[in-house]
Structure 1
Amino acid sequence: MNSFHIAPKAVYLHIPFCTNKCHYCDFNSYVLKGQPVREYLDALEREMEQTVKQLPPDGIETIFVGGGTPTVLLPDQMEHFLRLVRTYFFHGDARDEQIEFSMEANPGTTDIDKLHAMKAGGVNRISFGVQSFDPMLLAEIGRIHNVDDVYRSIENARTAGFNNLSIDLMFGLPKQTIAMMQQTLDAALKLDLQHYSIYGLKVEENTLFHTLFQKNQLALPDEDDEVQMYLSIMERLQAAGYSQYEISNFAKPGYESRHNSMYWRNQSYYGLGAGAHGYMLRQRHSNVKAIQPYIDATKLGLPILDGHEVSREEAMEDFMMVGLRMLKGVTNQDFSSQFDVTMESVFGEILEKLTQKKLLTAFDGGYRLSEHGILLGNEVFAEFIGIFA
């Protein structure tokens, strides 16, 4: 059966509360103080109930809780939230142990009691938003944790029984030097974690950094230094035994993010919570963003703000753009299983052009980014946007 006509195997849940708003963040998040957290969780339950009634799950494989900072929930709120997730998305049998259940966390918001509540609730993978091991840079980007919080959080997570841990790091930050990035990598690799996500800073609209950038007050590294940071990241992580399986992600064997791989393989997923996006039955939708309007909307039906049917042509473009983020590339076998045609019959001219420019490498049955193409990924992806317009 075509994968677009079956229930999603992945679930994304959004907890939109944070202790503060970081200077670079454009995610749908709100400072926690004064927010109706319990009412929000009740609304989330209403959305879960209505969603699974409309499209019952059939074999969930991955669950991801993002934000915001989900770990700002108090232990009793966390227990309640995870009980809801198990009620609506777990199988109730041995398959539950096979679900990859990830939760984002901020160092400093994960005491041992909360971590035990997470473990008991089924969470088995934690992604900590560390960003840097440089105290000056942490302050510069608006993070409220310190380096000691990182070590304490990792130690607590291991004590609570977690053995699948990831941290997010950033490069290209204001005032960041290559030496600073190397020192952060030194500290990160000493933790010997299962997974690292390392992202280049993007200055997004509606952030403090964008305001400063517009005023020419954001001291970003020059482009050559940023490239050197990325090259060093790739070299050092690979030398330490981590496979770069996606442009920004590195893992020990068997610890690749299965949930994010669902996105990169253009698979469908449930998206629940304020501002969450979902992709089901070739329909993309986004939810109401603001907290109280989202709560109110769930009392009337599904809290969908807007949505559209994804055309076959748009789905093909999406397949190429997200699939090429993975370093193993895209294959005709996967493409034809979704669209009943080969990639060359649709994108032959573009694939030939990118291969000649040495941005893509052809292999038996597919294409992947070349070493040069990894550095120019956005240029590659842009080639597949809007070609059917």
Structure 2
Amino acid sequence: MAGAYIHIPFCEHICYYCDFNKVFIEGQPVDDYVAMLLREMQLVMPQYPNEPIETVYVGGGTPTTLTPKQLDQLCKGIREILHFEHGEFTFEANPNDLQATEKLQVLHDNGVNRLSIGVQSLDDDILKRIGRIHRVKDVYTAIDNARKVGFENLSIDLIFRLPGQSRDNFLHSLRETLALQLPHYSTYSLILERKTIFYNLMRKGKLTLPSQDIEADMYQDAIDLMHANGREQYEIANFAKPGFECQHNLLYWQNAHYFGFGAGAFGYLGRDRYHNFGPIQQYLAPLHDHKLPVIEHHLVPLEEQIEEEMFLGLRTRAGVSRQRFADKFHLQIQDVYGELLDDLRQQGLVELNGDQVRLSNQGMFLGNEVFQQFLLDDPLV
């Protein structure tokens, strides 16, 4: 069982917080990119005839910057080359690309059954401040159009701890988006990544953000309001009605296999973690010669596999299964982390519940600090 991530690096505008691999779409060889993306799939898939793909996630960048014709070509190629007939098929989208139904209809006709829409805030001033080009009214139009076409599995993203954002302002966005009665929501705290406009402003002392206490209040508000509206937290930043959890992302958090296609994409198959060239021309050049565009392979050692099993699994409310850990690594989790788990339990950061090891509510707030403690200092064998 595996998933496939497909990267579309094109954007109409670069948001101030984004550090994903992306370029302005104007002047880019988009048709050639789509064709070579499908060629990459054709080169890879014969090597893995026994690795059925159960989820496909098309992210970016902004996949919906593609034209209807390009979207149709891409979707048909995915279906044919990946032998992907059933399962969760997600496209990321921006509200401004969904102001008409043509692209939505192409996606729906090709079996895309889940949309993840980048909303970030329902405040026009905040949207301008973070470099978004859509406005609040566009969000409502996008959701309405998606529903008209027949999409039911819709998710939106919200960001908190944004410049100029108060707790009340974030509460407003939460309440308004929950009123849309969508089955899935993601909400993230702003992270200042290198090579972003916000990071450079922070270095110059020109970026004012909410305090850590307000950030914690915002996160708690999200948890409380989502729960009150029947959207349960199944991962640190994700909430869903039962049955609408994102299956593709669950593959990541379960440390399962996934293919990565496109410029800058990562894949993880067996013990091999590979990374494609990021710059567009460096990605395209080898594919024109019918060669794979992989810049690096990393054979993941046992210790790193175990660390990632803990980091990723503990992000979920379900946590890490002791039995799955033992079956996968032929080690007992207690033999590797017994003393640490006892310490974290006494601090109220983890809970040991039967087969499951999971973060407590307090641990969810301090996730990164807890995860760091699972780094292994010494080789296991």
TM-score (norm 2): 0.97
Counterpart-to-counterpart distance in 2, 1:62 and 1:107? 23
1:170 aligns with 2:159: yes
Aligned to 2:46: 53
Counterpart-to-counterpart distance in 1, 2:308 and 2:51? 24
Counterpart-to-counterpart distance in 1, 2:156 and 2:119? 6
**Deviation larger for 365-374 or 241-250:** 365-374
* Alignment counterpart, residue 32 of structure 2, candidates 39, 48, 59: 39
Is contact 1:132-1:184 (8 Å) kept? Answer: yes
1:210 aligns with 2:210: no
Q: Call closer, same or farther: CA 1:84–1:25 in 2, change over 3 Å.
A: same
TM-score (norm 1): 0.95
Alignment of 1:188-207 (within 5 A): 188-207=177-196
1:187 aligns with 2:176: yes
1:87 aligns with 2:77: no
Identity %: 45
* Alignment counterpart, residue 18 of structure 2, candidates 8, 12, 25: 25
Counterpart-to-counterpart distance in 1, 2:38 and 2:52? 20
Aligned to 2:367: 377
Is contact 2:303-2:376 (8 Å) kept? Answer: no
Q: Call closer, same or farther: CA 1:386–1:33 in 2, change over 3 Å.
A: farther
Alignment of 1:224-263 (within 5 A): 224-263=213-252
Is contact 2:318-2:356 (8 Å) kept? Answer: no
Q: Secondary structure at the match of 2:257?
A: coil
**Deviation larger for 121-130 or 360-369:** 360-369
Is contact 2:96-2:138 (8 Å) kept? Answer: yes
List alignment gaps of at least 5 residues for structure 1: 1-7
Question: Which letter does structure 2 place at the counterpart of 1:314?
Answer: E
CA RMSD of aligned residues (A): 1.1
Post-superposition CA distance 1:297-348 (Å, at most 9, x none)? 2134110011210111110110000000001111111111211111111111
Aligned to 1:333: 323
Aligned to 1:107: 95
Post-superposition CA distance 1:118-137 (Å, at most 9, x none)? 01111100000000001010
Runs ≥4 in structure 1, deviation > 3 angstroms? none
Across the two proteins, how many residue pairs are aligned to each other? Answer: 377
Question: Which letter does structure 1 place at the counterpart of 2:280?
Answer: I
1:279 aligns with 2:292: no
Aligned to 1:66: 59
Counterpart-to-counterpart distance in 2, 1:286 and 1:74? 27
Alignment of 1:312-331 (within 5 A): 312-331=302-321
Is contact 2:286-2:292 (8 Å) kept? Answer: yes
Aligned to 1:5: none
Q: Secondary structure at the match of 1:143?
A: coil
Aligned to 1:310: 300
Is contact 1:243-1:251 (8 Å) kept? Answer: yes
Aligned to 1:342: 332
